[in-house]
Each structure stands twice: as C-alpha cells, then as structure tokens.
C-alpha cells in the first residue's frame, strides 16, 4: 500500500509541485502551503442526539484528491459541510491547516450539486464574486474571471444568466467560481450528480485537467464508485457508522477492479 503523500504526488507531480512525505508533515503541522490539510478528531457531525456521523477520524493530505463515497443518507454532504465550516461539529474538532475550523472561509471553496450560482448574476459576475468579496480591483477581477471562464470552456457565455445555460454549463461556472480565488481547498458536493452520463464524463475530464493547474486539496463527495476511482488519489468509504475505510487508488486495471470490489463490500 502506497503512502498518502505518494498518491497525492502522483497528481501534483504533473503540475510541477511534488509533495514529499517530509514536507507533508510540516504542512499538517500548520506551517501552511498551497494545499490545505484537514484532520477530523473524534468529530460528531449532525444535529442533536441523532448525529449523522459520530467519532469521525479522518485525515486529508495537502494537495490530494480525496473522494468520499457512501450511500445516500450516510452523511457525505454533512461531512463536507463540516469541512467547509457551514456546520459546526457537535463534538470533537475539525482542523484545517492545523487551525480549528470555526466558520466558512475563502480558503475552502465549495461547489454545490446544483443551483449554487446566484441566478441574477451573469456568468462573469458569478465568477467574479469571490474576487469582489476580497476587494480585488474591477479590471483585475474581470481579467481573472475571463481567464477562468475560458479555462472551463465557456468563452462567449460570459454575459449569460445561469438560467440560460444547461446543467453541465452551470457546473462549469461553479468550478470556475470556486477556483478563480485560488483557494487552498475545494470541497465538491456531488457536483456532477444531476448530469447525464455523457456530460458527467466530460465534466470529470475537465476537472482532472483543471486540477492539474492547482495544488489545492480536493474533497469530492459522490455516490458513484466509478467516479471515485477515476478522480481520487484516495477513497474514503462512508457507512452508517462513520468512515469505514480509507483506500489508496492504485495504478493498473486489475488493482482497480479489486479496489472497486473492496469499496462495494464496505458500502
């Protein structure tokens, strides 16, 4: 079994940033860096007595793509919302970059399943939003937004409203909006779950392509095991009782077939 850092390096290596084991320890220790590390310590997530998840122990290495798979109702979204800081843990703690998560931050951008765009803002103004919030000058944010709109393949659609776009195009906009502010982590909540198979495959390719340019940590939630195997450095399997296994995604078809069976077993 390869180490977390090696599998993370498998992706980031292509972009030029190699995260080796020693440096990873530094970053987890809170020294900062490009990708954000997460650590959940005996975290209880959910409301009141009927906590959706209890005593969650999970580590996410900086720069890796961790895909969380689980059946519906297993608390995948809850886990993601907790990492985003939208849902404070009822017990235990959540650390991001060594610091306790107390609320949402621009460091941890989120991509929602659908309808996360502000419908009264055009594509460009949606993508510009994080920069506007940060007080970036108008010309600068227009340039950056345009660059990302082109990167996600929406050149020519900058002035469209979200309702004038298809579901896949709207998710492209969300992706651009999440990445334009160069966050240290991107949290994706079944972003392709509502798309047809063909569009989903395209979006997955686009995501892999775009992620090569960033060293941000990615936590990606899905119920689709194939999607997990395609995108992940590591896969976390979520069952009714919490995180059941965290598995490295190996190279090679046979090894992947074995892993797929292992995941389906854990589910």
Binding site for other proteins (CB under 8 A): 84-86, 103-106, 108-110, 112, 115-121, 129-130, 133-134, 151-157, 159-161, 163-169, 172, 177-178, 181, 187, 195-196, 198-199, 202, 206, 209
CB of 93 to other proteins, least distance (A): 19
Residue closer to other proteins (CB basis): 69 or 187: 187
DSSP 201-262: HHHHHHHHHHHTT---EEEEEES-HHHHHHH-SEEEEEETTEEEEEEE--SSHHHHHHHHHH
Residues 6+ apart with CB under 8 A from 159: 122, 123, 124
Residue closer to other proteins (CB basis): 93 or 159: 159
Residue closer to other proteins (CB basis): 168 or 242: 168
Coil, helix or strand at residue 46: coil
Sign, Cα dihedral of 74, 234, 110, 133: positive
CB of 94 to other proteins, least distance (A): 15
Strand segments, DSSP code E, in the chain are 38-45, 53-60, 65-70, 91-96, 99-100, 108-111, 185-189, 217-222, 234-239, 242-248
Do residues 88 and 35 lie in contact, with contact meaning Cβ atoms separated by under 8 Å?
A: no
Residue closer to other proteins (CB basis): 40 or 110: 110
CB of 171 to other proteins, least distance (A): 9
Residue closer to other proteins (CB basis): 24 or 151: 151
CB of 1 to other proteins, least distance (A): 33
Question: What's the rounded Cα separation, in Å, for the pair 14 and 9?
Answer: 8
CB of 191 to other proteins, least distance (A): 13
Name the DSSP letter for residue 68.
Answer: E
CB of 231 to other proteins, least distance (A): 17
Residue closer to other proteins (CB basis): 121 or 244: 121
């Amino acid at each position: 079994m390869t180490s977390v850092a090696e599998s993370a390096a498998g992706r980031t290596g292509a972009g030029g940033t190699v995260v080796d084991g020693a440096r990873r320890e530094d970053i987890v220790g809170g020294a900062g860096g490009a990708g954000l590390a997460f650590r959940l310590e005996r975290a209880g997530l959910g409301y009141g007595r009927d906590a959706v998840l209890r005593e969650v122990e999970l580590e996410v290495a900086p720069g890796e793509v961790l895909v969380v798979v689980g059946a519906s109702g297993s608390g995948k979204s809850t886990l993601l919302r907790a990492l985003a800081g939208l849902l404070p843990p009822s017990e235990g703690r959540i650390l991001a970059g060594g610091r306790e998560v107390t609320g949402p931050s621009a460091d941890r951008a989120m991509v929602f399943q659908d309808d996360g765009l502000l419908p009264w803002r055009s594509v460009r103004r949606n993508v510009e939003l994080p920069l506007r919030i940060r007080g970036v000058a108008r010309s600068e944010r227009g340039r950056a937004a345009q660059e990302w709109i082109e990167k996600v393949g929406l050149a020519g659609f900058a002035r469209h409203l979200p309702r004038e776009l298809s579901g896949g195009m709207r998710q492209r906009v969300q992706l651009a909006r999440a990445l334009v502010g160069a966050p240290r982590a991107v949290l994706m909540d079944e972003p392709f779950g509502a798309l047809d198979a063909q569009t989903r495959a395209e979006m997955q390719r686009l995501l892999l392509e775009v992620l090569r340019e960033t060293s941000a940590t990615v936590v990606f939630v899905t119920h689709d095991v194939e999607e997990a195997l395609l995108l992940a450095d590591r896969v976390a399997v979520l069952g009714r009782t919490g995180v059941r296994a965290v598995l490295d995604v190996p190279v090679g078809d046979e090894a992947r077939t074995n892993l797929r069976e292992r995941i389906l077993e854990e589910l």
